[in-house]
Structure 1
């Protein structure tokens, strides 16, 4: 029994023009024609068109449908490909949901509209594009720096981004992506990182002076901040004397040299960079060291 194109369309639940398009696209053999020139489809053609409808409803494009019908690909191959596509779409939808939540919280004032713009741009970036943004920053900061130069080892860790945002990123992670993108776009920040990398070994406050215990310096500095000790006060000078009590003279020159070294290797933005990488990579958070070091810089320079 042969069916007209209208009968086929009614049976499949699609428009007549859809059946005509699939036929003209070669997804079924050319149907027979009635005496009046109307298309007539046999049961095999109807079954094949029914399969085409099912595959299209699953989201397959016409090239994939054609390859499947020609037996150049198995159903399992097509299913695996579309599972990957669906998983990617789900991840994107979850990310956009989190972004929309951030937009909702951001409001719509002129100052906050820049946040909305950044969120929209972020949702369109792939993991590779996000990595390229950070890689570009690292390349600018370390361009021409010999591999064995002091501080060159910072380059690889500063590229350490996760391959993807989590399936359901937290608001903190989304905010971290945005802040990191803004930070690495700042040429001044790249220049500061380069300055630290070129300055010499020990390019962090962790090794400020051969005669100073960095851990003790942090403990004393944090205590001074918590206690509201003002640089230059008698209490601050007592802490300076305690820190530098290693048998060497506490001369103004030594104080100034230590303060300058600390200032060279201390930048709140650099520390923030590592904090943001930690949020994105799921690293354990660490207590900021910069505030205590900045207190010491001020305390050491207070008597200049």
Structure 2
């Protein structure tokens, strides 16, 4: 066949495997215009029609709209430019689909109600800026104006949940739980009261030496962990030496002397600390950001609190 010969729609359909209807539609759209017509009015296409049809089919298979295809064929934009723009659009679609998949898996795992599913979907699709605003508003509401210090506030504001594009169901569930948690007024009020009490205690006793505070915290963890592993109940007589050692360490940290008054003061601080709830926030944040979960100090604090209730005097 002469390559310069004009071809009918039927011939192009046989050569390309495209349907006559599709070729006619693309022709009407102007992306593969006819070169001529027969005396009876049927369309005829020139030698470039095959190449144009091949390019149009490829671009359409990639999801490129006909208006953009027309611009490529008119050489208003290049194929690489179209490919780059479309690849970027596909990246957004892929991220969205991954997020949808994670939400659905999280819903399936939690057995969520329709209302919970709607909330989970809404929270999961918040933008990075919206997530940051949610956390910053929580930090300001709980800790603002208490005198916790600019370094502490800056640290809290910088701990923003960074939900990845391919978030796992566990990360989605953790983010939804965190978002619900930081909007819970009762949770906020409890943490604020605890933070205010800790600030007052700091003002009363003075700012503790950071290194000494870390050593005391480590001692608390180590001694109570050993006691729990040995099955020593905090109310038992066997707990007294452990409690005495820990209270002595806290008294030294506060610059005070162990005794009923100090033990009552320390017990009040421990009872108001809300350690478990505060650690819940950091645990969820670690899951969302794909980081190791922080070591829990709540069991240690709870053991010492129970021991102080049982043994208020040295």
Does the CA-based 8 Å contact 1:141-1:194 persist in structure 2? no
Change (3 A) 1:11 1:124: farther
Change (3 A) 1:130 1:117: farther
1:138 matched to which residue of 2? 136
2:158 matched to which residue of 1? 157
Change (3 A) 1:114 1:130: farther
Change (3 A) 1:243 1:208: farther
2:232 matched to which residue of 1? 229
**Displacement after TM superposition at 1:288 (Å):** 0.7
SS in 2 for 1:250: coil
Does the CA-based 8 Å contact 2:197-2:269 persist in structure 1? no
Does the CA-based 8 Å contact 1:208-1:258 persist in structure 2? no
2:86 matched to which residue of 1? 82
> Structure 1: how far apart are the matches of 2:10 and 2:68?
26
1:24 matched to which residue of 2? 28
Does the CA-based 8 Å contact 1:67-1:73 persist in structure 2? yes
Change (3 A) 1:140 1:97: closer
Q: In structure 1, list runs of 5 or more residues that go unmatched.
A: 107-111
- TM-score, normalising length from structure 1? 0.76
Higher Rg: 2
2:19 matched to which residue of 1? 15
**Displacement after TM superposition at 1:290 (Å):** 1.0
> Structure 2: how far apart are the matches of 1:79 and 1:34?
37
Q: Deviations over 1:32-81 (max 9, x none)?
A: 33222222222224432332122101221223212322323222222223
1:62 corresponds to 2:66: yes
Tell me the number of residue pairs that the alignment of Structure 1 and Structure 2 aligns.
293
**Bigger helix share:** 2
2:243 matched to which residue of 1? 240
- TM-score, normalising length from structure 2? 0.74
Match of 2:7 among 3, 6, 17: 3
Q: In structure 2, list runs of 5 or more residues that go unmatched.
A: none
